[in-house]
Structure 1
Amino acid sequence: MSVITEQDIIDSVAGACQYISYYHPTDFVEGMVEAYEKEQSESAKNAIGQILINSKMCAMGHRPLCQDTGSINIFVKVGLNAKLDISRELEDILNDGVAKGYTDPDNTLRFSVVSDPAGERKNTKNNTPAVIHMSVDNSDKIDITVAAKGGGSENKSKFAVLNPSDSIYDWVMDNVRQMGAGWCPPGILGIGIGGNPEKSMLLAKESLMDHVDIHELKARGPQNALEELRLKLYEDINKVGIGAQGLGGVTTVLDVKILDYPCHAASLPVAMIPNCAATRHIHFELDGNGAAKFEKPDLDIWPDLEIPMDTVKKVNIEDLTKENLSQFKSGDTLLLSGKILTARDAAHKKIVEYKNAGKPLPNGVELKDRFIYYVGPVDPVRDEKVGPAGPTTSTRMDKFTKDMMEIGIMGMIGKAERKQPTIDLIKEYKSTYLIATGGAAYLISQSIKDAKIVAFEELGMEAIYEFEVKDMPVTVAVDTEGVSIHTTGPAKWRTI
């Protein structure tokens, strides 16, 4: 019998981490192409187009689809008849594979995992440990699925124990309406029903690893209650009108997946986990014939698209003042050129601490009249000025917005909606909020012509950078009058 070695496992997991960082699953690309072709909302169609352009660029350039290269989830099924040549815990071997994949110098990936989550929250510097789920069967192989899940979509996960008489459909629809766009739609919605609390969450996560096949189900018709629920949710979620990036449109989900498990008669555990526009997972088996080999997808599955320029306004940031921001209205597409600063959660916290202490920021950094981009970029390789640098979810910065407005920032760039108090502040201070497309990180990075850390270098990817950008694509999400595209867009396309 062939032997499965430690090195086979390490190399396979490392190769999988690299592969999924720059290749979307083929079925997902095909679903996105279909969504692009049928989209009627100009803003949403442009966003899907950017995601597809980014996806093809990443496939060709072998760089990450999203700056949030995710935390790793591994599903492992070990055959009881498999012959293993390992001398350590399998979990340690799998984590060595993750570390090797994330530290590959040819395609460095962002380290997002922190230890001591309720305390120091210190970055582990190699994106380990992975979240590993193990089971066994009677085969002579090891079956492995590796998935990378970004924080934006994971943070939108929902769980509840319903009464047996409650409607799962109503619970899901209510939560989808509240979920907003921070999970970067269009994507896939995974639902787990039954078991107990932890089992239903696991089912929801596992369901996301399945192929996009909703149209096959629609063509043949549902054959049981779960399929009926799946199809009804798919159709009705898309009627809510959230659309790509929350801009309003006809496609919010490409598919809805459901797995179930028997449960206690007195309970109905239900979990919901979305997978974003950077859906990333791959399945492989090890049978003793060496490390897994992953086939390159055919580049012909991606259409040749370009960002439409007929309605785009080119903007020189250096020419902007608070007084002339009012020329830009919610829904406008802009190409920004000039210098912007970056700041995420940790940097915002430090900025407020410095403000409250009456201290100037390090190195003479001034925020007044500057645009702040919510981003934690991937480290550059070769001749890059910066690695993939797409936006992070903006609502996490809402708690800091009043302080930032008092400092005098010009505006903010991020992704997804803002809460109403933040919108009110934008209107009060005659500021603006712009969004870049989540899931288009490599495309966005091509517009960054120079990048340097200017403060808080110890924060790693959360340090304050100064980016010099040329024609960076953004959409006006909240204008100086407080009009939000994330309110007006979905309202226009809502049919349910």
Structure 2
Amino acid sequence: MTIIKQEDFISSIADALQYISYYHPIDFIQAMGAAWEREQSPAAKDAIAQILMNSRMSALGKRPICQDTGIVVIFLKIGMEIDWDTGTSLQEMADEGVRRAYLDPDNKLRASILDDPAGERKNTRDNTPAVLHVEMVPGDKLDIIVAAKGGGSENKARFTNLGPGANVADWVVEQVPSMGAGWCPPGMLGIGIGGTAEKAMLMAKEALMDPVDIQELRERGANTTSEKLRIEIMERVNALGIGAQGLGGLTTLLDVKIREYPTHAASLPVAIIPNCAATRHLHFSLDGSGPVELTPPSIDEWPDITWRPSADARRVDLDTLTAEDTHQWKPGETLLLNGKLLTGRDAAHRRISELFESGQGLPDGVDLKNRMIYYVGPVDPVKGEAVGPAGPTTSTRMDSFTDLMLEKTGLIGMVGKAERGPATIESIKKHRSVYLIAVGGAAYLVAKAIKKSRVIAFEELGMEAIYEFEVEDMPVTVAVDSNGESLHQSGPAEWKIRIEEIGRPRHEPLRK
């Protein structure tokens, strides 16, 4: 009988989480490289290049691909002939593995998990607990999938109960535009069809752990209903022109994965969950001989793509910037930010709102007049870093606070990722402000532009505190200009038309 020792299991979980924090799955990197090769949209091609360069830098530096190091999801298939050498539960062992990984002093990962989710929302400080899924199977091995799922993509999950006989592809394609760009495309779409509501959602999540193989499927042809759906949904979604980071382009999806389960005659449950540009998962087995041994991938597996800012990028001095200066910027223009940049995301915005409601105003030391604010929750620094990986968070979560911030603080611009809502765009237009985006999935690359960092308010909020960064040539793109023109609206609209003009044959990939 196979005996799995407690320490072997815990250390394997910890090692796997460290591994996936800085190594992308190679099949994902190869798919991204192919997307970069065929991309014709300059903005999308630039974004994919940043993501690929960030991935290579993270692999070499052994630092997180993304500042959002995720909620840990673990799938266990436990052989029924296994015995355990432990006095604790599976959940307790898994959580200890998470705790070790996220508090590792050589590569500390961001703790994002909040207890009392509908109330105080207090950070657990070690990213526990993990979300554990357990299945008993025949055999004497323990099969493990460890994943770290970012909040930006997780928030875009969708579920419905369609009527029997409804068109699944129609519903999925209808949902994707409403998901916006907060899930950091290009990525994968996991789809669960059948079972019950919770079964469909679980299948959609588990489908994202499968390898990228849509090209092989296209070449051999579809043999089943689900395979035909994969190809149809992939082609129809990419034809929408959403593109990398929602800027407009040829590739929105790298693959579509589908899992199915028999369902009730009255039901057709369908769930969709996207994976982002920080796709992180690892599959391995334990057989009782010791902890997992993980072999690093060869850096030669990464495409030889080097990102550099375009020659016509505009350098901006944040310390002397005025509102009038920002009125010259146009959607799609590349800027290189220099000087002092304040940060603030959900919790900080909520605190500021409460302070204004009570008549107190901004906290001591925080002056936003003629300043820009960056929506970010960085990873803690190690080994002399000014800050750890510090990519943008999804800006739409700050939409409800934006008009207040622009009205009350003198703020002239914001930096984040993904689109803004219609009311927020109107507020930006009314206040003649601007909204810029950094590339989601390029957190380590962005962090290299941050030379100094200090907390100036709400230190108790941890990664959600207000920091002051000093940046040098931090790359951003103008997403909404002072006239309210949005790149996230114009870019996909333009590329949807261009793709229609290309006239790509059905079920045939774009050629390089």
Normalising by structure 1, we get a TM-score of: 0.99
The amino acid that maps onto 2:424 is T
Is residue 452 from structure 1 mapped to residue 426 from structure 2 by the alignment?
Answer: no
Per-residue deviation, 1:86: 1.4
Q: d(CA) in 2 for partners of 1:290 and 1:210?
A: 26
- Match of 1:363, SS state, is coil
Per-residue deviation, 1:315: 1.3
Q: d(CA) in 2 for partners of 1:428 and 1:203?
A: 45
Number of the residue aligned with 1:468: 470
- CA deviations over 1:241-264 (Å, ceiling 9, x no partner): 000000000000100000000000
Q: d(CA) in 2 for partners of 1:264 and 1:30?
A: 39
The amino acid that maps onto 2:471 is V
- Out of 418, 421, 424, the position equivalent to 2:420 is 418
- Match of 2:78, SS state, is strand
Q: d(CA) in 2 for partners of 1:187 and 1:417?
A: 17
Task: Write the mapping of 1:327-342 to structure 2, written as runs, cut at 5 A.
Answer: 327-342=328-343
- Match of 2:364, SS state, is helix
Number of the residue aligned with 1:34: 34
Unpaired segments of 5 or more residues in structure 1? none
Is residue 386 from structure 1 mapped to residue 383 from structure 2 by the alignment?
Answer: no
Number of the residue aligned with 1:201: 201
Task: Write the mapping of 1:218-229 to structure 2, written as runs, cut at 5 A.
Answer: 218-229=218-229
Task: Write the mapping of 1:92-131 to structure 2, written as runs, cut at 5 A.
Answer: 92-131=92-131
Per-residue deviation, 1:308: 4.0
- Match of 1:182, SS state, is coil
- Match of 1:475, SS state, is strand
What's the RMSD between the two structures over aligned residues?
Answer: 0.9
Number of the residue aligned with 2:435: 433
Check conservation: 2:203, 2:259, Cα contact below 8 A: yes
Percent identity (aligned): 59
The amino acid that maps onto 2:360 is K
Per-residue deviation, 1:295: 1.4
Task: Write the mapping of 1:283-432 to structure 2, written as runs, cut at 5 A.
Answer: 283-302=283-302, 303-406=304-407, 407-432=409-434
Q: d(CA) in 1 for partners of 2:103 and 2:74?
A: 18
Per-residue deviation, 1:160: 0.3
- Match of 1:17, SS state, is helix
Per-residue deviation, 1:177: 1.6
- Match of 1:331, SS state, is coil
Q: d(CA) in 2 for partners of 1:356 and 1:120?
A: 19
Q: d(CA) in 2 for partners of 1:377 and 1:164?
A: 46
- Match of 1:319, SS state, is coil
Number of the residue aligned with 2:479: 477
- CA deviations over 1:231-287 (Å, ceiling 9, x no partner): 011111111000000000000010000000000010000000000000000011000
- Match of 1:362, SS state, is coil
- Out of 478, 491, 494, the position equivalent to 1:492 is 494
The amino acid that maps onto 1:336 is L
Task: Write the mapping of 1:28-107 to structure 2, written as runs, cut at 5 A.
Answer: 28-107=28-107
Q: d(CA) in 1 for partners of 2:35 and 2:293?
A: 30
Per-residue deviation, 1:311: 2.8
Per-residue deviation, 1:306: 2.3
Per-residue deviation, 1:142: 0.8
Number of the residue aligned with 2:273: 273
Is residue 180 from structure 1 mapped to residue 180 from structure 2 by the alignment?
Answer: yes
Q: d(CA) in 1 for partners of 2:78 and 2:452?
A: 47
Matched residues, number: 496
Per-residue deviation, 1:2: 4.9
Per-residue deviation, 1:316: 1.2
Check conservation: 2:346, 2:398, Cα contact below 8 A: yes
Check conservation: 2:309, 2:475, Cα contact below 8 A: no
Q: d(CA) in 2 for partners of 1:446 and 1:162?
A: 47
Task: Write the mapping of 1:126-137 to structure 2, written as runs, cut at 5 A.
Answer: 126-137=126-137
- CA deviations over 1:412-457 (Å, ceiling 9, x no partner): 0000000011111111111100000000000000000000000010
Number of the residue aligned with 1:214: 214
Q: d(CA) in 2 for partners of 1:357 and 1:201?
A: 42
Per-residue deviation, 1:357: 2.2
- CA deviations over 1:361-410 (Å, ceiling 9, x no partner): 33331111110100000000010010000000000000001110112101
Check conservation: 2:318, 2:338, Cα contact below 8 A: yes
Number of the residue aligned with 1:165: 165
Check conservation: 2:46, 2:307, Cα contact below 8 A: no
Per-residue deviation, 1:360: 3.8
Q: d(CA) in 2 for partners of 1:398 and 1:329?
A: 21
Check conservation: 2:4, 2:84, Cα contact below 8 A: yes
Q: d(CA) in 2 for partners of 1:8 and 1:232?
A: 43
- Higher mean alpha-carbon deviation, 340-349 vs 315-324, is at 315-324
Q: d(CA) in 1 for partners of 2:307 and 2:393?
A: 24
The amino acid that maps onto 1:166 is A
